[in-house]
A = this chain, B = another copy of it.
Amino acid sequence: MPSSRIVSIRVTPVAFADPPLLNAVGVHEPYAIRAVLEVETEDGVVGLGETYGDDGHLGRLRRVAEELVGVDIFHTGEVARRCAATLSGAVGSDHHGLTGPITATGTALRVYSSFEVACLDAQGRLLGRPVSDLLGGAVRDAVPYSAYLFYKWAGHPGAEPDRYGAALDAGGIVEQARWMVETYGFRAIKLKGGVFEPRAEVEAVRALREAFPDLPLRLDPNAAWTVATSIEVGRELGGVLEYLEDPTPGIDGMAAVAREVAMPLATNMCVVGFEDVAEAVSKRAVGVILSDHHYWGGLRESQSLARICSTFDLGLSMHSNSHLGISLAAMTHLASVVPNLTYALDTHWPWKHEDVVAPGALDFVDGAITVPRGPGLGVELDGDALARLHEQYIACGVRERDDTRYRRSIEPGYDGSVPRW
């Protein structure tokens, strides 16, 4: 029987240019940072993973990587065990708060997740099978994504305007949506809110409804609103939104809103790990869970989360952070095997123009990505691009994502606290 033990793991931080996308806690910095994992086995197979690039997380990835040498890539349960044992209660931070509180369990799962994906990629390459086949096989050939709209400045301060243009009111958002829908064919639209006072964002949603009468709409103010404001906006947008995402912080707050509005509430902020599910279910706080394999513990745990959702009559969609092609491939394989992942997934994909994977494997047709049929994740690392984005990481100086700090460097009085309306 072949033994496929890990002989080395490379962890490479990279940075890619990111436009000034506004959100409830500030604005995206000029570079988004990620870590690329290359897990090499004694068979000479290399599996790819992608995760957060913050300093603290990088340190944890490297500590765990040393402990994984000698583990078989098929033994992801053992990988999980070593992650937890090595990190032994360490608690990380995401410095932006956009994915809710982080526990010790969540910290270990954030590390494990990316190694699990890399192990599955390596398994698939070794076996000549797509990752979807290792998870029960795709039940759909293509995975639909949504147009992820952001309020944004014309460019980063002090730099040239970027290719995307400004979007600071309803008109700008509709224009952005037209570009994105025309370019990618998306059939669902999400607006990142929590940037302007709620009335302005309601106006933008109404303008989107008028411009795109047939596309489902979502609004995500990232917990920027009080319960009272959330109820007011929720009632106003009843029948307009397919779901309202994280209007207000916490399970109790979400439950209070859920009782008073017609549409389901979605979350990637108050239910962010298995330990949050029981309370959310008993309090009926949310109707849709936005999964994210980067912090729910990888692809297989995300499949179990999907089964929890169908068991407790919860909807299931998928959250996105700024990411590269390895993550997009992983998200696509996962979504392809989950029968009840019926909402279009979120992705920041249109907001970047450089990557570490060779182009061509992940193209949008009618807003969807065809599930790659090649071995593993079906994407190939471009060594030159990896080196270039690593150099960019070294040069750019960003070591922790902190949207609030960056915005305050531009507007010293900026208040990034939530809820603030």
Q: Enumerate chain B residues within 8 angstroms of A72, measured Cβ to Cβ.
A: 133, 137
Min CB distance, A191 to chain B, in Å?
31
Please give me the residue from chain B that is nearest to A79 by CB atom: B137
CA A274 to CA B313, docked complex, whole Å? 11
Interface of A is mostly: helix
Stretch at the interface among A94-102, A205-213, A296-304: A296-304
CA A72 to CA B132, docked complex, whole Å? 12
At the interface, yes or no: A70 with Cβ under 8 Å from chain B?
A: no
| A311 with B134, Cβ < 8 A, contacts A74-B129, A77-B139 known | no
Partner of A75, one of B81, B136, B274, B300: B136
Q: Enumerate chain B residues within 8 angstroms of A301, measured Cβ to Cβ.
A: 307
Min CB distance, A279 to chain B, in Å?
11
Given contacts A74-B134, A77-B139, A277-B312, 17 further A-B contacts (CB under 8 A): A1-B129, A1-B373, A1-B374, A72-B133, A74-B137, A75-B133, A77-B138, A78-B139, A134-B134, A136-B300, A274-B311, A278-B313, A301-B307, A304-B304, A307-B307, A307-B308, A308-B311
A contacts with B, residue count (CB < 8 A): 40
Tell me how many chains of this kind the complex includes.
2
Tell me the chain A residues, 305-327 only, with Cβ under 8 Å from chain B. 305, 307-308, 310-313
Q: Are A339 and B137 in contact (CB under 8 A)?
A: no
At the interface, yes or no: A337 with Cβ under 8 Å from chain B?
A: yes
At the interface, yes or no: A7 with Cβ under 8 Å from chain B?
A: no
Please give me the residue from chain B that is nearest to A304 by CB atom: B307
Q: Are B129 and A77 in contact (CB under 8 A)?
A: no
At the interface, yes or no: A409 with Cβ under 8 Å from chain B?
A: no
At the interface, yes or no: A104 with Cβ under 8 Å from chain B?
A: no
At the interface, yes or no: A69 with Cβ under 8 Å from chain B?
A: no
> Chain A 117-135, CB within 8 Å of chain B: the 1/0 string?
0000000000111000110
| A138 with B278, Cβ < 8 A, contacts A1-B128, A301-B307 known | no
Q: Are A76 and B308 in contact (CB under 8 A)?
A: no
At the interface, yes or no: A2 with Cβ under 8 Å from chain B?
A: yes
Partner of A137, one of B77, B307, B374: B77
